[in-house]
Amino acid sequence: MAKIEIEHLYKDYIKNDGSILHAVKDASLTVKDGDVVVIIGPSGSGKSTLLRTVNGLEKAQAGHIYIDDVDVVNPKTDIRKIREEVGMVFQSFNLFPHISVLNNITLAPTKVLKMKKGEAEELAMSLLKRVGLEDKAKERPSNLSGGQQQRVAIARALAMKPKAMLFDEPTSALDPEMIKEVLDVMIELAEEGMTMLLVTHEMGFARAAAKKVIFMDAGEIIETGTPQDMFTHPQSPRTQDFLNHIL
């Protein structure tokens, strides 16, 4: 497993009207090897942007992100190598609709890791079994429920045998009754010692699995603490205000 260190990270956007939006301002955080860190915050606070800079889906303007001492922000770094080692799960699942569930999972191992087809399928079946969907291997993603699709997406990311996982609001697009099945898979993953950085508002998950909770607002990290401290005695008034709204 790996550790993720973010140091003084800045990310700006130029908005349509020409003004500059500071999406992430001077953000620093560390996810230790095998830790689970949850980022919370109001919408537009830059938490997703911060997460997406970790595997280079967004390019940071300044600062450093070290994954096992390799700097993602450094333009000389082979970003594809980083992406092979850091799995990502998206809010809207983003499964490939034109191929079967099985092929969704085997695609990256066969194309990127050059794994043999049989071997990749064996791996995919074991991962599907792990997320409880081995009977759906031949289905198209559109025939699956949201919760099932998200579990496939997790299996797809795990097929690359990542050292760390990023989750961008993995349960926000799900119906309430499907959230648990996805969270169960995530909690299991955390218990196995996967390094995880998440954006989520599932406080239950944060309490059960997270080592640290980070509160972001307007692009800045306002407060960091254990889930207990954060949820029971938040220090900053902005954190208190936010938690009052969602708890």
Partner 1 sequence: MDIPLNSSAKSNMDTKENFEKAKKAGISPLPQKNEGNKTNINMTDGVLIPTKKNKHLISSWRITFFGAILLLVCLCAFVTRTNSQGVTTHPYWEIFKFTIKGAPVTFECTIFAIVGAVLIGTLTGLGSVTKNRLINGICGVYVELIRGIPLLVQLLFLYFAVGSIFHMEGIIAAIIALSICFGAYMGEIIRAGIQAIPKGQIEAAKALGLSKSQVFFNITLPQTVKIVLPAIGNEFISMLKDSSLVSVLALSDILKRGREYISRTFLSLQTYLVVALIYLIFTLVLSRLVGLMEERLHRHG
User: If you search the block for the tokens 């064996």, which residue do you land on?
Assistant: 122
Identify which of residues 41 and 141 has a Cβ nearer to partner 1 in the complex.
141
Site residues (vs partner 1, CB under 8 A): 55, 57, 80-81, 83-84, 87-88, 90, 92-98, 107-108, 111-112, 140-142, 149, 153, 156-157, 160, 172-173
Identify which of residues 84 and 121 has a Cβ nearer to partner 1 in the complex.
84
Q: Which two tokens stand for residue 45?
A: 């606070």
Q: Which two tokens stand for residue 59?
A: 């390019």
Identify which of residues 90 and 221 has a Cβ nearer to partner 1 in the complex.
90
Work out how close the CB of 157 gets to partner 1 at its nearest, in angstroms, rounded to a whole number.
7
Identify which of residues 76 and 245 has a Cβ nearer to partner 1 in the complex.
245
Work out how close the CB of 203 gets to partner 1 at its nearest, in angstroms, rounded to a whole number.
17
Identify which of residues 100 and 226 has a Cβ nearer to partner 1 in the complex.
100
Work out how close the CB of 149 gets to partner 1 at its nearest, in angstroms, rounded to a whole number.
8
Q: Nearest 10 degrees: CA dihedral of 154, 204, 40, 92? A: 30
Tell me which H or E stretch contains 12. strand 4-14
Give one DSSP letter per residue of 107-165, joined into a string: HHHHHTS---HHHHHHHHHHHHHHTT-GGGTTS-GGGS-HHHHHHHHHHHHHTT--SEE
Work out how close the CB of 191 gets to partner 1 at its nearest, in angstroms, rounded to a whole number.
24
Q: Is there a contact between 195 and 1 (Cβ–Cβ < 8 Å)?
A: yes
Per 3-state DSSP, the chain is made up of helix, strand and coil in percentages (nearest 5) of 40, 25, 35
Work out how close the CB of 98 gets to partner 1 at its nearest, in angstroms, rounded to a whole number.
5
